[in-house]
Chain A
Amino acid sequence: MRLPCPYCGERDSREFTYRGDATLTRPAVESEMADYVYQRDNPLGWHKEYWLHTVCRTWLAVERDTRTHALGPVSIARCERVGS
């Protein structure tokens, strides 16, 4: 799989680290914290997720089809508060 870093251009997946679901919102109350930290869906199909481009240290918000690795929009995560 190759991911297009908006800053560096297209690079292969070795340069990136998967950093989890981008649709979660940090809960305001303590009682929901365990679910936020530990409970994960395993979605089939389109998924919005964070990837860290480790070489330029930029967090990306990526839409990816988990069945085909087809990519949708890729943006710099700090420019777009995802899931809020």
Chain B
Amino acid sequence: MPDFNLIHKAVLADVRYGIFGNMPPEGPGIRLQACPETCLLHVLGAPGCGDLFTVLTARPACHVRVAGPSQWLIASEDPITDVVIRDLEDLLGERAVVSDQTHGRIRIGISGPRASALLAKGTAIDLDPAQFQTGKSAMTLIGHITVNLARIGHDAFEIIVLRGFAESLWNDLIHMGLEYGVDCIPAHLAGKHPSGKITG
């Protein structure tokens, strides 16, 4: 008999959702979206593997983020399966190894007209759209938490964070966004909530 039962649940299942802070008349300045924990893979390149970004982005239905020298993260809305990992390993061959991080890191969507202003409070990256264009991603800190930050639209970003830091980061983001009004949307309402769709 175990001392306690292990429960499978999304890490952001029990965090605060709803509306927080000063809501401007034109609507929330920030929308925080918990993303479903579907598929997240870490690709670690072998020495001399070159830039595999274009190789990885050629695969359908996946988002590729740069995660350091010769390292990439691949997120997908489709659930992870052994076949997905094996196909990717076959594609990469000796050039890289694949580590399933679906259990280890999660994604948070941040969108809305004040999304850049919110993130600028926490990161050293220049978020000017001319400097950090749509499709770009980078490793950085938000506060003291290491994240992968990607711009997925003019006013839309996505963060990949270690699972254990996700709840703390979620609360930090709400706190940082109080002055703009924050609408926090749970994962199962992704795309269904009236303001929940993260649009490019």
Contacts and interface: CB of A to CB of B under 8 A. Distances in A.
Contacts of A67: none
Interface of B: 67-69, 124-125, 138-141, 144, 146
Contact of B124 (A15, A54, A58): A15
Interface string A45-68: 000000000111110000000000
Nearest to B131: A9
Contacts of A8: 138-140
A4 to B, nearest CB: 12
Contacts of A15: 124, 140-141
B68 A11 contact: no
**Count class of interface residues, chain A:** 10 to 19
A58 B140 contact: no
Interface of A: 7-8, 11-12, 14-15, 54-58, 76
Given A54-B146, A55-B146, A11 B140 contact: yes
Given A14-B141, A54-B146, A55-B146, A7 B124 contact: no
Contacts of A76: 69
Contacts of A58: 68-69
A28 to B, nearest CB: 27
Nearest to B141: A15
Nearest to A76: B69
A23 B124 CA distance: 30
B182 to A, nearest CB: 24
A54 B67 CA distance: 12
Contacts of B68: 7, 55-58
A56 B125 CA distance: 13
Contacts of B146: 54-55
A55 B68 CA distance: 8
Given A11-B124, A14-B124, A15-B124, A55 B69 contact: no
